[in-house]
Amino acid sequence: GAGVSQSPSNKVTEKGKDVELRCDPISGHTALYWYRQRLGQGLEFLIYFQGNSAPDKSGLPSDRFSAERTGESVSTLTIQRTQQEDSAVYLCASSSYSHQPQHFGDGTRLSIL
């Protein structure tokens, strides 16, 4: 069946521009996570959605970062006024419930010039 889908797969943009990253989770998965993975480093938690509960935004690094999720479907991660340190792979994962195994997308590789 279909897995977690992320788009775009690659994004190159100039410093100061806004970017929007999209995640389509597996249908029926109530939990959705966004992570950031810088080159050669581990996963950095950004935000967690669980059903209709208020999202856990504790990992967002600054107010330039925001994310939305409509119900239990698609989510978008928006980065405003991008900086070079935002360059990374942004990963989305979903699971049927928060404590079930996560299924990861292929990520969006973001490069800020």
Partner 1 sequence: AQSVSQHNHHVILSEAASLELGCNYSYGGTVNLFWYVQYPGQHLQLLLKYFSGDPLVKGIKGFEAEFIKSKFSFNLRKPSVQWSDTAEYFCAPSGGGYQKVTFGTGTKLQVIP
| Chain residues that interact with partner 1, rule: CB under 8 A | 31, 33, 35, 42-43, 45, 48, 50-51, 53, 56, 91, 93, 95, 97-99, 101-102, 104-107
**Rounded to an integer, what distance in angstroms lies between the CA atom of residue 64 and that of residue 83?**
10
**Rounded to an integer, what distance in angstroms lies between the CA atom of residue 75 and that of residue 66?**
11
Smallest separation (angstroms) from partner 1 to the CB of 81: 27
Smallest separation (angstroms) from partner 1 to the CB of 97: 7
Is the bond preceding residue 101 a cis peptide, omega within 30 degrees? no
Smallest separation (angstroms) from partner 1 to the CB of 48: 4
Closer to partner 1 by Cβ: residue 16 or 97 = 97
Closer to partner 1 by Cβ: residue 25 or 105 = 105
Q: Are 91 and 5 in contact (CB under 8 A)?
A: no
Ramachandran angles phi, psi of 38, nearest 5°: -80, 160
